Amino acid sequence: MFKDISINELLSNHTNDYVMVDVRSPSEYEEMTIPGSYNIPVFDDRERAEVGTLYKQVSKEAATDRGLELFSAKLPDFIKRFKELPGKKVVYCWRGGMRSKSAATFLDLMGIETYRIKGGIRTYRHWVLDQLESIELTQEAYVLNGGTGTGKTEILHRLAQEGFPVLDLEGLANHRGSVFGGLGLTPHKQKTFDSLLVNELKRLEHHPLVLFEAESKRVGKVLLPSFILNKKEEATHIFIELPIEERVGHIMTEYKLHEHHEEFAMSFKKIKRRIHSPVANQIEEELKTRNYEKVLELLLTYYYDPRYKHSAEKYRDDQKIILKVETIDEAVKAVKGIVAGKKGLVGSN
């Protein structure tokens, strides 16, 4: 018989024995899941809607019968997919109800060691919210600041690869933070972001410092918690200054504007009214010919840089470290020089 396991038992287990499987529909999984979970749904979105309608409009018995019929047809493939996963299987649905119970029961009958999360992912969501209420960032914080295109995210990624304690807020949001930040991406929803954020904060909690990028209150579709914003205000800010041609080249490489022209043009319309009319009209003309380098140069000079300068002025001089560099490689080396040597910091060699 499968066993129920509480969310606290699961999260306090520090081995790699468990593999978590979300048996809810793909759209539910996309909205929020436990980080690292696989999605092997009992019902797809259409089937879930059909069973739900029967439950509301006919009866619980009719919904149960139809659900069993649908699940039985896909059972061989369902079992096969579980057998391909290593370790002890932990299944869950929303409340720890019929979907996870049915999945766990059939898996157990096939001799697959299975656990079910007591109370479903709803208990995990409550745990995440509790963590966000109680977490304190006690580490010394270094925040990468600088104009658009100065490679702040790339610098953080490269530092993370070398073992430095990096909190990649844009990566967790799957959005680059500006009006153009969603180009080519599918931004995460708030619940997914919250789960990923707590997961990362737990990973970093024993480090003596943390590095992250200066973000506004909103990154794409998600809101940052107040403790992140408060930590940013008191942190040491490393301001990256990079030649504009380097910044344009970096944006061209990262955003791949030629692959997302229509999306880029639509995003520009959202900010056009904030730019002096002659410049905004010139940008539109350059967009028609897909002269992205000139478009970016104008956007940086007349839109992003003035906004950046204004936001930078609110920090005290003793909070600021200015790095004037020619390339992102130089910036990485310089940032490493600032934060390396901290006691217990991995990657400080």
Query: What does the alpha-carbon distance between residue 25 and residue 27 come to, in Å, rounded to a whole number?
Result: 6
- Per-residue pLDDT, 312: 85
CA angle (326, 332, 336) in 5-degree steps: 130
CB atoms within 10 A of CB 257: 21
pLDDT over 90 at 197, yes or no: yes
Can you give the pLDDT at residue 190? 96
Mean pLDDT of 154-158: 96
pLDDT band, very low/low/confident/very high, at 309 (cuts 50, 70, 90): confident
Domains and their CATH numbers in the chain: 3-130 (3.40.250.10), 137-339 (3.40.50)
Per-residue pLDDT, 349:
42
Residue 342: pLDDT band (50, 70, 90) is low
d(CA 93, CA 290): 47
> Region 122-146: what's the mean pLDDT?
95
For 69, 70, 102, 212, the CA distances from 65, given in Å and listed in that order, are: 6, 9, 13, 51
Q: In the sheet that 209-213 helps form, which strands lie side by side, from edge to edge?
A: 166-167, 209-213, 140-146, 236-241, 320-324
Question: Is residue 168 within 8 Å of 212, Cβ to Cβ?
Answer: yes
For strands 222-223 and 218-219, give the pairing.
antiparallel
Report, in angstroms and rounded to the nearest whole number, the Rg of the chain calculated over CA atoms. Answer: 24
* Percent of the chain whose predicted confidence (pLDDT) is above 90: 86
Structure tokens at 38: 């696989």
Does this model's pTM top 0.85?
yes
**pLDDT grade for 232, boundaries at 50, 70 and 90:** very high
Residue 347's pLDDT is 46
For the segment 43-59, what is each residue's pLDDT rounded down to a tens digit? 999 999 999 999 999 99
User: Is the pLDDT assigned to residue 215 strictly greater than 60?
Assistant: yes
Report the pLDDT value the prediction gives residue 14, as an integer from 0 to 100.
56
What average pLDDT does the chain have? 92
- For 88-104, how does the pLDDT look when each residue is reduced to its tens digit (9 = 90+)? 899 999 999 889 999 99
Mean pLDDT of 101-126: 94
Helix (H, G, I), strand (E, B) or coil at 166: strand
Res 343 pLDDT > 70: no
Contacts of residue 185, Cβ cutoff 8 Å, sequence gap at least 6: 174, 175, 176
Distance, in Å, from the CA atom of 147 to the CA atom of 329, rounded to the nearest integer, reads 17
